[in-house]
Structure 1
Amino acid sequence: MADDEKHAADPAPEVAPVDSYAAAQNGAEFVDRPAGWIYKGHRIFGKEVYYASPRVQLLLVALVCFLCPGMYNSLTGLGGGGQVDPTAQDHASVALYSTFAVVGFFSGTFANRLGLRLTIGIGGLGYCIYSASFLSYNHNKNIGFVIFAGAFLGVCAGLLWTAQGAVMMSYPPEEKKGRYISTFWIIFNLGAVIGSLIPLAQNIHSHSGTVSDGTYAAFIVLMFLGLVLSFFLLDANKVIREDGTKIVLMKNPSWTTEFKGLWETLYNAPYVLLLFPMFFASNIFYTYQNNDMNAAAFNIRTRALNNLLYWLAQIIGAVINGYALDYSGVSRSVRAKASFVFLFVLTFAIWGGGYAWQKIQPSRSVVSAPDYESHKVDWEDGGKLFIGPMFLYFFYGFYDAIWQTNIYWWMGSLSNSGRKAANMAGFYKAFQSAGAAIFWRLDAIGTSYDTMFAATWGVLAGSLVLAAPVVFYKIKDHVSIEEDLKFSDETIEDVVVGANKTTDV
């Protein structure tokens, strides 16, 4: 028999089955995407960009947060919501974070059931109403409206931040999560920076304690624009990563499956409970920093300048930490441990400096005197009165960015599932808000500044100790898609597009 006839008669060699997920991960930059304008690529700065990509969707979410919570942070960062007397903001913040804590716990369920676009849209509504309540308070001192606006904002913010957390943790590929988190934090805090320029510009010659009506009006307009922008987002089921994979979601989620999912997240990963104290601690420092330091020690224009520097420091911290967390020279598990050690050292270095400042500050009873406003520090005082505290306040902002980006990156390292990320973000925002509510209440009832400082520092340090086992032993170098699908009715084929087909772009 001729060689070619012999070879023709031989059975065809077996071809090993293709792992669709691995093919998508290791193949060309892009695989087949469905037809439609949202998947049509455009080359910008040498990169292929399309509307339904994680990169564009995260940018839109960041811009919504730039205009809504970013401006809110600028307003609260002035101390007292821009008022001389912080009582109205204290009570509004207690109402805000109380409702936030309740809604936040279940908001992952709502985000999975309603979709991320609608969840963020509803979430953006409360911010402009909150700013409007302070504009009203400037004229009629109607504290009831301010408290209602705070409670309503808590409901809205619980939804918005949970959906945002799900996007930030589940959309990016594993090797880019730090950069995505960093990019979000930069844009979000740029909103607070620009928002801080508004009261600084409008009050640059003012030594009084209350911001102008124009400041509140500017915040209202910008927050409303954020609400409008939220409706240009896509739901997660339409988003396709650059490697061709889709977001892991539950098929046809119902309220029953989503409430069950809350329990499953804890039941199947009980070590997550060790992160809850860190969630609790993640917003408690704002009360001391905004009201008990910035508002208590500085006049209005200096508060505005400190506020600007605080949010600029957040951007610097996010840039440094985000890229360090994605550094490919060492494994992800090693990066997790290094990030924990860095945060632990910062907790004692920066707050140790805060202790040195707090020891020499006047008590709350002195600061609350009617004529004390004229004795507050102005930036023209310079020296020890302003320069030292200014740098301390700057590093408080830097610390906040390191704390928040670490938590998000650690949570994102535990799973790539959109469903799990939404539930995790809900837990995070719930306990974060519970902590904030308690500390705003402590401030409202006149707790001494020394006690507020000590309690804040103690909770931060203690929560890190409890979180250490999760960071050191549960964050792995990779989370397989099979592990993420373990408690979902999705299959590998459901989350990979055009499994074995690649196209050159």
Structure 2
Amino acid sequence: MIDLNARPSRTHGQASAFKGCMGTSSSLGGDFSSVIADSQIPRSRFREKTTNPISMESVSTEPAITGDAIPDDGAVSSSLSRFRYNSPLVQVCLIGLVCFCCPGMFNALSGMGGGGQVDHDAANNANTALYTTFAVFGVLGGGIYNVLGPRLTLLSGCSTYVLYAGSFLYYNHHKHQPFVIFSGALLGVGAGLLWAGQGAIMTSYPPPGRKGTYISIFWSIFNLGGVVGGLIPFVLNYNRTQAASVNDGTYIAFMFFMAIGAILSLAILPPSRIVRSDGSRAAAVTYSSVSVEALEIIKLFANWKMLLIVPAAWGSNFFYSYQFNNVNGILFSLRTKGLNNVFYWGAQMIGSMAIGYMLDFSFRRRRTRGIVGIIIVAVLGTAVWAGGLANQLRYTDGLWPNKLDFKDSGSRYAGPFLLYFSYGLLDAMFQSLCYWVIGALADDSETLSRYSGFYKGVQSAGAAVAWQVDEHKTPLLTQLILNWALTTVSYPLLLVLVMLAVKDVNLTAADKDVEERKSEAKEKRTWMA
């Protein structure tokens, strides 16, 4: 047995490899023993492989793990499980569950049209207040995340969802709008914090080459909340086929899930504790100051990358008021609205997984994957909005007297249902694409939290305008054309952004170290031959 404290003799090539290991160890956040401590891997499983230059036999030694060396890629990959608590996969799944419970249930509530109320005025005004404050705190949220860290940021954000659902329970009995509007404004603050934190986690924790996959995993779990949330009003209001507001039990069930989400947010780890399966760490954040973050946020408005993504961000939630209030809200019976939402958010799960797989695995070059992804979404978007136009021409006055019911309407239900399903599919693919592009612009959590916050802020500003567009009874055909135009304009700008800013190679320090050692090993074999 070789002394653990002894340093094995090395050839010149091995010395350079060893030196590369030392550089990688420091870039991973200091002493590599912290990786072992976090993942609870026995020290004996880590090896430094050296090669006898005469016999070319692999000799295994066990140097002390003190930051002097890092295990080879294969050793780490086989040692670190993806299902560790501090792995990117588990943490992305946790933030997915948080969003399942909070924004997922909010989406189900909004998807019924009017927040489940027959009169849409209260919900429209509350949503305007919500997205106005969301626009401000969406932009500020990235800076707040960098100051407070993930747990406090997410907990503060999640708590506001419970109050919002409770305000509609209050409105069911008293019909007073001010409390609902105040709750909507407060939710905008909380949503800005939550989504800035979520964006930073989802785009910076995963390995660079698998961001599309992790985004699709998050999006699927998050939208499962909309599926379950759609089942709640469907089941609780199943026998109420006439137009009516949802019952109290519906709002209480939403509040219950949202409270669970707030508690789950405490399980999210900071980026400095995240260890990927290759042994590399997510970029550690040295928590910033308010003045630094304020300056960095101001700089975003002059950042050409962010300016190119503005139309996509503005349009990515603009269509919700039209789809929820003027398609699902007008065409279908109360119980069918809930059922439609099950499939709307279910379609989002399918769409996010499909585009996520394509963006990670379709082509070798990352820039090519991004360009093809934009083309696919553009073609699908054109087809879906064309179908929406054909449907909208059937009720340009906004009146649909005979509500469609999934049991009673027969084949008349099929076409509008398929259209609403397609709207959900397109939404997920479009937003997953936007997040993938944002994630490809940087790797560190600090920068990506600001980028994500900027995206959500602009997105929310667009939504605030959209809800007032609907509140002021803008013709439905005009609303549809506006939605179609906004998404169409964004595609060429996203293409320019991908071609100019997305790099084909984006390796972590650990990845670079592995590539260097592979290259040195290849050179050594060539020399020996």
Query: Would the TM-score normalized by the shorter structure come out above 0.5?
Result: yes
Equivalent residue, structure 2, for 1:93:
127
Equivalent residue, structure 1, for 2:428:
401
In the TM superposition, 1:378-389 aligns within 5 A as 378-383=405-410, 385-389=412-416
**Which of the numbers 249, 256, 262 marks the counterpart of 1:227?**
262
Deviation at 1:361, TM superposition (A): 1.3
Contact 1:310–1:394 at 8 Å: present in 2 too?
Answer: yes
* C-alpha distance 476-461 of structure 1, shift in aligned 2 (>3 A): same
Give the letter aligned to residue 320 of structure 1: A
Aligned length: 462
* C-alpha distance 328-224 of structure 1, shift in aligned 2 (>3 A): same
Equivalent residue, structure 1, for 2:295:
260
Equivalent residue, structure 2, for 1:461:
488
Q: Please state if 1:420 is matched with 2:420.
A: no
Deviation at 1:449, TM superposition (A): 1.1
Deviation at 1:318, TM superposition (A): 1.3
Equivalent residue, structure 2, for 1:16:
16
Give the letter aligned to residue 205 of structure 1: N
Equivalent residue, structure 2, for 1:503:
none
Equivalent residue, structure 2, for 1:306:
340
Equivalent residue, structure 2, for 1:349:
383
Deviation at 1:444, TM superposition (A): 1.0
* C-alpha distance 99-20 of structure 1, shift in aligned 2 (>3 A): farther
Give the letter aligned to residue 333 of structure 2: N
Deviation at 1:124, TM superposition (A): 0.3
SS at match of 1:379: coil
Give the letter aligned to residue 33 of structure 1: S
Q: Please state if 1:83 is matched with 2:117.
A: yes
Equivalent residue, structure 2, for 1:478:
505
Deviations 1:167-192 (A, max 9, x none): 00001011111110010001000111
Deviations 1:214-255 (A, max 9, x none): 111100111001111111221222222222222224434211
Give the letter aligned to residue 34 of structure 2: R
Q: Give the unaligned 5+ runs of structure 1.
A: 1-10, 482-491, 501-505
2:203 and 2:281 map into 1 onto residues whose CA distance is 14
Give the letter aligned to residue 361 of structure 1: Y
Contact 1:21–1:245 at 8 Å: present in 2 too?
Answer: no
**Is 354-363 or 467-476 further displaced after alignment?**
467-476
1:55 and 1:229 map into 2 onto residues whose CA distance is 16
2:82 and 2:143 map into 1 onto residues whose CA distance is 33
Deviations 1:289-315 (A, max 9, x none): 000111111110111111111011011
In the TM superposition, 1:184-199 aligns within 5 A as 184-199=218-233
Deviations 1:404-452 (A, max 9, x none): 1101111111111111110000110000000000000111111111111
Equivalent residue, structure 2, for 1:113:
147
Equivalent residue, structure 2, for 1:276:
310
* C-alpha distance 109-48 of structure 1, shift in aligned 2 (>3 A): closer
Deviation at 1:91, TM superposition (A): 0.4
Equivalent residue, structure 2, for 1:318:
352
1:198 and 1:125 map into 2 onto residues whose CA distance is 21
1:270 and 1:246 map into 2 onto residues whose CA distance is 29
1:160 and 1:41 map into 2 onto residues whose CA distance is 33
Deviations 1:338-394 (A, max 9, x none): 001001101110100000000011513x46xxxx5xx32222344553110000100
2:268 and 2:193 map into 1 onto residues whose CA distance is 15
Give the letter aligned to residue 107 of structure 2: N
Contact 1:414–1:479 at 8 Å: present in 2 too?
Answer: no
Contact 1:41–1:48 at 8 Å: present in 2 too?
Answer: no
Contact 1:272–1:470 at 8 Å: present in 2 too?
Answer: no
Q: Please state if 1:129 is matched with 2:130.
A: no
**Which of the numbers 207, 218, 224 marks the counterpart of 2:253?**
218
1:171 and 1:340 map into 2 onto residues whose CA distance is 24
Give the letter aligned to residue 224 of structure 1: A
1:68 and 1:34 map into 2 onto residues whose CA distance is 33
2:133 and 2:299 map into 1 onto residues whose CA distance is 24
Contact 2:300–2:454 at 8 Å: present in 1 too?
Answer: no
Give the letter aligned to residue 376 of structure 2: F
Contact 1:41–1:49 at 8 Å: present in 2 too?
Answer: no
Q: Please state if 1:376 is matched with 2:403.
A: yes
Equivalent residue, structure 2, for 1:484:
none
1:41 and 1:350 map into 2 onto residues whose CA distance is 50
Give the letter aligned to residue 267 of structure 2: F
SS at match of 1:388: helix
Equivalent residue, structure 2, for 1:66:
100
Contact 2:202–2:215 at 8 Å: present in 1 too?
Answer: yes
Equivalent residue, structure 1, for 2:57:
none
1:196 and 1:21 map into 2 onto residues whose CA distance is 53
Equivalent residue, structure 2, for 1:7:
none
2:238 and 2:322 map into 1 onto residues whose CA distance is 24
1:413 and 1:48 map into 2 onto residues whose CA distance is 22
1:183 and 1:380 map into 2 onto residues whose CA distance is 33
Deviation at 1:262, TM superposition (A): 2.5
Contact 1:40–1:50 at 8 Å: present in 2 too?
Answer: no
Deviations 1:97-137 (A, max 9, x none): 00000111111100011101211111101111110000110
2:23 and 2:322 map into 1 onto residues whose CA distance is 49
**Is 220-229 or 230-239 further displaced after alignment?**
230-239
Deviation at 1:198, TM superposition (A): 0.8
Larger RCO (alpha carbons 8 Å, 6+ apart):
1
Pairwise CA RMSD: 2.7
2:430 and 2:35 map into 1 onto residues whose CA distance is 39
Q: Give the unaligned 5+ runs of structure 2.
A: 1-9, 43-76, 518-529
Contact 2:130–2:184 at 8 Å: present in 1 too?
Answer: yes
SS at match of 2:407: helix
Q: Please state if 1:209 is matched with 2:210.
A: no
1:34 and 1:273 map into 2 onto residues whose CA distance is 39
Equivalent residue, structure 1, for 2:198:
164
**Identical columns (%):** 40
Deviation at 1:146, TM superposition (A): 0.6
2:484 and 2:421 map into 1 onto residues whose CA distance is 17
Deviation at 1:147, TM superposition (A): 0.4
**Which of the numbers 280, 299, 324 marks the counterpart of 1:290?**
324
* C-alpha distance 41-137 of structure 1, shift in aligned 2 (>3 A): farther
SS at match of 1:253: coil
Contact 2:233–2:250 at 8 Å: present in 1 too?
Answer: yes
Equivalent residue, structure 1, for 2:40:
40
